Amino acid sequence: MAKAFLTKENFSEKWEDAKTYMAPLFEPLSEYERISRNRPHPGINAAYPKNTDGTLAAIIQEQPKRTIQQIPTGKVEAYGDPVKSIVANFVLTQSIIPNAISQADVLQKSWGIMSKSLTFGSYGSMTFFGKHNDYTGADFKLFYIKDAFFERGKLTFADCNVFFVRSWYQVSDIDVLIDKHKDNENSKWNVKRLEALKDQIKKKEQEAQSSGERERNRAVEAIEIVTGFQQGIKAKFFVFSPDLGNDENGIVGEFENEDPRGVMPIQWLYANIDFENPLGRGVVELSGGTQNVIDSMLQSYQYMRALQLAPPMIKRGTWNKAQAKLQPNVLMDLGTDPNNSLEALRLDTTALTNFTTDYGLFKSQIIALNNNGDTSISAEVGNPGFSKTSAGVESQNLKLGVSDNYMRKQFEAWFGDVCESMLNIEFANKKGKEELQLDKDTADKIRQLGEKEAALVSTDDKFVINYDEYTDTLKFSVDASTSDKASTQAQLESLDSLLQRIEASPMLSALLQQYPEKAVELYNRFTSLTGVEDQEKLGIDLEQFKADQEEAEMMAQQQAKAQAMQPQLPAEAPIDPSMIPEGEVMEQLPPEMMEAPQGALEQLPDPLEDGVIDGQDLQGLSPEEAEAVFDMQERNFDNEIIAQAIIMMREGVPLEEIAEIVMQADRSEA
């Protein structure tokens, strides 16, 4: 086993080093938090209004919801075993993610951690195996930024071998732990020390309080417990109380890393990594000063506007100010002294006149620095880089797309780490066999692997999983950009563009004809996005379409096979005139038929001998020829005339000419 980074002998020293290292990094975070919550500065003049601009707060709240529109999809890989990969993916998507609801559901926690990372520069989460309601399995939660302590000297989370997370327990939480583990001799918690912890409740230090706790001046009392994590397979995690002592007596629990990968159950989402501050850099650090200037300008503007609407009054003379009543149509009696007067104070309005331009300029600096779009800013208010022309809006949208794509990639990397950690913790903690009710798609994926694999799934799509066999590490990779959901209009425009390209390209058109089911999929996708009523009636069932195609192809093959089994007549040579009885219609036949070799007519089966007359046997005749024979028989044509008509059909004489010749021959014979 590799040497441990954290031991019973050094955990206290490592903890103190981490606290000392992080203390100066925590100092500006309260100010970042205030700005992100759009709260006024505590040092504002008491006479000024407490309003704020909220540009940065809007970015912090809006970008996560714009960037993360749905939970990403991905792929689980169990090395060398496709069945385990499919089953593990089912467990993740159908069991773990829907039930990972401690604090909030997965989407809410995703929005929250991105919002917090934009505020502070980064933010963290912790995966664990727990129980709530009727669910027992993997879950994750976010923890407060000031309760996260990096290893001393490390500049990124990925570089840490040791990491500390502080938690705050209530006495009731300790009682629950005690009741759960007091009768378990093999418990990893020290029940006696947990009892001693109940006397260590204290008020949170100011630096450890959240913004909500500070604003409301809530005297939060809690018990401080710290968990020390470290890298390594089966490495020890120590849970200790700094208030119980800085030696082994402070340890209240010891746990083994259950993740077969040996990584800590901590995931970290960065807004920007600068390799100087381990917490990274957020939008508030970049633009917080400018936001304070805008807030100050706005508050001053509001104050001056209030003075203009209700200006201070200058009173001269010795008259009673009670006589000054500023109301419409009121007569004020200032006495007989000519020096008595009352007038409004004149204020310099230069700052008010330039406010719109100055406000737009500062606001645009925040927008530009954070690559965020705002169509309320234009060249007329101070910044020529923000125009409302088509080119200007397109340029802003391009910058916005780049910024959103960057944060989306950061989020998907974090989400992939969370899912991979939950998967490995889930399968490491569960033991024995369990029957899973698979959905049809998952069951079919297993059946398609082969007969041996198909036998593992019952006819009603049930699968028995043996968790003891899932001892290898599991890998999860996010499908790129699946957290983004394209708008309906954008998808319609993309489909329309695709259809135009297919129509203009012979190669693509031929390819679509070769794979008609793809055309059906395109049609269904198009109708589903149009929003028309009863669109399900317009859709084409793809499975039924495929079945119809297979049936049509099978019938065509059977028909071709039946025709191939019929005896075929040899190709007929031109008619030998000597074979036609004298006085018949030879003068009406084409010249080339007049030169047929002798005996050609004899090669044609006699309709009478072949049973053509009574219609019972048409062997030797094609369907078209048989139809022509029946038609001429119904019209009572002579057999010789019918034979000549068949010969002409085989020679390719147009049907119109054949009909005319046959009619003339019949009239001559009559």
Determine, yes or no, domain membership for 526. Answer: yes
pLDDT score of 87: 94
Instruction: State the Cα torsion 338-340-342-348 to the nearest 10°.
Output: 80
Q: Do 603 and 655 fall into the same domain?
A: yes
Q: Do 557 and 607 fall into the same domain?
A: no
Determine, yes or no, domain membership for 181. Answer: no
pLDDT score of 2: 62
pLDDT score of 390: 55
Both structure tokens of 26:
């925590």
Q: Do 615 and 647 fall into the same domain?
A: yes
pLDDT score of 217: 67
pLDDT score of 601: 38
DSSP string of 628-658, one letter each residue: HHHHHHHTT--HHHHHHHHHHHHTT--HHHH
Both structure tokens of 214:
């500070």
CA pair distance 351, 298, nearest whole angstrom: 11
Determine, yes or no, domain membership for 271. Answer: no
DSSP 319: S
Token pair 């378990």 in the structure block, residue: 184
Q: Do 296 and 386 fall into the same domain?
A: yes
Both structure tokens of 294:
């805008």
CA pair distance 118, 65, nearest whole angstrom: 13
Q: Considering its fold, how many domains does the chain have in total?
A: 3
Determine, yes or no, domain membership for 269. Answer: no
Query: Which of 565, 589, 608 corresponds to the end of one domain?
Result: 565
Q: Do 311 and 390 fall into the same domain?
A: yes
CA pair distance 230, 427, nearest whole angstrom: 21
CA pair distance 36, 50, nearest whole angstrom: 16
Query: Which of 367, 399, 431 corresponds to the end of one domain?
Result: 399
Please give the average pLDDT of every successive group of 10 residues along the chain, which has 670 residues: 84 95 95 93 88 91 91 89 93 95 95 96 96 91 96 96 95 93 89 93 84 72 94 95 89 94 96 93 92 91 87 88 82 85 84 84 84 55 51 54 86 96 94 93 93 93 91 89 68 76 81 81 74 69 79 81 62 51 47 41 45 46 79 80 83 81 72
Domain of residue 654, residue span: 577-669
pLDDT score of 595: 43
| 543-573 as b/e: b if 16+ CB within 10 A | eebeeeeeeeeeeeeeeeeeeeeeeeeeebb
Determine, yes or no, domain membership for 537. Answer: yes
Q: Do 516 and 612 fall into the same domain?
A: no
Determine, yes or no, domain membership for 335. Answer: no
Please name the residues in contact with 412: beta carbons below 8 A apart, sequence gap of 6 or more: 72, 478, 480, 481, 482, 483
Q: Do 591 and 660 fall into the same domain?
A: yes
Please name the residues in contact with 531: beta carbons below 8 A apart, sequence gap of 6 or more: 488
Q: Do 528 and 589 fall into the same domain?
A: no
CA pair distance 111, 305, nearest whole angstrom: 38
Q: Do 545 and 643 fall into the same domain?
A: no
CA pair distance 304, 249, nearest whole angstrom: 63
Q: Do 592 and 657 fall into the same domain?
A: yes
Please name the residues in contact with 361: beta carbons below 8 A apart, sequence gap of 6 or more: 381, 382, 383
pLDDT score of 530: 66
CA pair distance 97, 107, nearest whole angstrom: 10
Determine, yes or no, domain membership for 361. Answer: yes
Query: Which of 371, 399, 427 corresponds to the end of one domain?
Result: 399
Q: What are phi and psi of 484, to 5 degrees?
A: -95, 140
Determine, yes or no, domain membership for 311. Answer: yes
Write down the pTM of the prediction: 0.71
Q: Do 530 and 616 fall into the same domain?
A: no
Sign of CA dihedral 555, 556, 561, 562: positive
Q: Do 393 and 298 fall into the same domain?
A: yes
In this structure, the number of other CB atoms found within 10 A of the CB of residue 638 comes to 15
